[in-house]
Amino acid sequence: GLHPAGEAMLKRAVDAGLAVKVAITKLDRLIVDLRLPPKDAFRHLKAIIDAINVAVVKLGRPALSVSAGDVFFTAAAFDLCVSLPAMARLYCRGGGRFDGVDPAALAKRLWGATAFDANSGRFIPNAAGAPGSPLPASFVAFVLEPVYKLFAETLAGRGTFASKTHHATAADAIRDAVATAIGPFGPLFADAVLRRVPPASDAAPSTMLRTVLDWCTASGITDSPALVCSAPLMVPTGEAQPRCIVR
């Protein structure tokens, strides 16, 4: 289940009216350290997300959607950042089987028990893990297996990147391979956050009220709070040090 510290963090975010998004870090540990097969890694990741969603729903929020980008996966040591919307866009513009397909529609099929049948070219709901079904979950086939292969080929000294002598370490080679095959970490991380986290201006009124009501009486707040330069500047302080500045 979810660690108590994680539950407390979720509750605090919900109580503050913040958008809840999840980054599952150190994906490389499943590959390099624990050496879990892709199917086992998927079950491990899904169990984590299911536990988070149980806690989120208990707090009165809708469950997080991996397909929509509420959850993404990172391995900062290797500059890897993976979200399903970004991976779907990669497949849909790659000139292959999914060229021209709506990335949002593809992303919806890359999580859960849905599997892809290469022979028929169709996604089959609830096929992954079904008795007698050899098909892996689409997340395994389209996300984990390519990432695993990228690591394995590079560490084994095969492929375009591992054979380059200018790489000082294997980690450098993997970072180069990840940046070329999937994309650079910075833009992908920013994209994963900005596409799903509302702008600060949306939460400014409620955030400002929650912040200043401890120091100001309700009758003293007459202006509609907004993030505009002409709004009154309030600087609540504690222990003679500024605690926040709200405009």
Model pLDDT for residues 182-237, shown as the tens digit of each residue: 999 999 999 988 888 887 777 667 776 666 665 555 555 555 445 455 555 555 55
Same-domain pairing of 66 and 13: yes
What per-residue confidence (pLDDT) applies to 185?
92
Q: Tokens for 42?
A: 């998927």
Domain hosting 60: range is 4-194
102 φ, ψ (degrees, to nearest 5): -65, 120
Does residue 134 fall inside a structural domain? yes
**What domain count does the chain have?**
2
Asked if residue 154 belongs to a domain, the reply is: yes
pLDDT in tens, 88-97: 999 998 778 8
In a domain, 208, yes or no: yes
Give the pLDDT confidence score for residue 162 in this predicted structure.
45
**DSSP string for 22-41:** EEE--HHIIIIIS---HHHH
Token digits of residue 229: 């330069």
Helix 145-155 / helix 170-181 crossing angle, nearest 10 deg: 140
247 falls within a domain = no
| Predicted pLDDT at 183 | 94
pLDDT at 197: 84
Q: Residue 15's pLDDT band (boundaries 50, 70, 90)?
A: confident
Q: Do both 116 and 205 map to the same domain?
A: no
Same-domain status, 86 and 207: no
d(CA 7, CA 17): 15
69 Cβ contact partners less than 8 Å away, ≥ 6 residues apart = 83, 84, 85, 86, 107, 192, 195, 196
Residue 74 falls inside a structural domain: yes
Tokens describing residue 11: 């509750």
| Domain match, 168 and 220 both | no
pLDDT band of residue 240 (cuts 50, 70, 90) is low
Domain annotation covers residue 61: yes
Mean pLDDT across 51-75: 96
pTM for the structure as a whole: 0.80
- For the stretch 136-189, pLDDT in tens is 999 999 999 999 999 998 887 765 544 444 556 888 999 999 999 999 999 999
Same domain, residue pair 167 and 205: no
The residue type of 13 is A
Q: Look at residue 18 in the predicted model and tell me its pLDDT.
A: 85
Q: 44 lies in a domain?
A: yes
Kindly report the number of other CB atoms within 10 A of residue 108's CB atom: 19
Strand partners, 62: none
Q: Are residues 109 and 161 in the same domain?
A: yes
**Whether residue 14 is found in the same domain as residue 112:** yes
Same structural domain, 70 and 90: yes
Handedness of CA 111, 117, 123, 125 (dihedral sign): negative
Query: Is there a contact between 168 and 162 (Cβ–Cβ < 8 Å)?
Result: no
- 204 and 189 fall within a common domain: no
* One domain for residues 189 and 235: no
Beta strands in the chain (DSSP E): 22-24, 71-75, 80-82, 115-117, 122-124, 237-238, 241-242
Whether residues 167 and 110 share a domain: the answer is yes
| Residue 50: predicted pLDDT | 96
* Average pLDDT for 124-130: 82
**Quick one: CA dihedral 45, 46, 51, 53, positive or negative?**
positive
SS (H, E, C) 203-229: HHHHHHHHHHCCCCCHHHCCCCCCCCC
d(CA 32, CA 102): 33
Residue 134 shares a structural domain with residue 172? yes
